[in-house]
Every structure is written in C-alpha cells, then in structure tokens.
Amino acid sequence: MGKFMYRRFQIIEVQAGRAINSNPNGRGKITELLITNYEAD
C-alpha cells in the first residue's frame, strides 16, 4: 500500500498561527495538513 493508499486524496500544506504553547519559543507559524477526498478550489 504505502503512499499509493492516499493517491485519491488531495493533501495541501497550510501555515497556521499558534499563540498558545507552554514554551514561548514554540509559538508562531506551523505547518498543518489539509486532507480532502474531493478537489478543493
């Protein structure tokens, strides 16, 4: 299976801001994945 298992899905990397973290150095932009089983515009 491996990576071919997910070929029907659209995987988009987005940057998200985080203001809450126990470590102040960990606050800020992080990369999150948006995964859909349909074509997103």
Q: Model pTM?
A: 0.53
pLDDT computed for residue 31 by the predictor: 92
* Residue predicted with more confidence, 29 or 40: 29
Domain ranges of the chain: 2-36
CA distance 6 to 12: 13
pLDDT computed for residue 4 by the predictor: 67
* pLDDT (tens digit per residue) in 1-32: 566 666 788 888 999 888 887 888 778 888 99
DSSP letters, 1-41, are -GGGGGTTSEEEEEEEEE---SSGGG-EEEEEEEEESS---
pLDDT computed for residue 32 by the predictor: 92
Locate 29 and state its tokens. 């932009």
Interval 30-37 mean pLDDT:
89
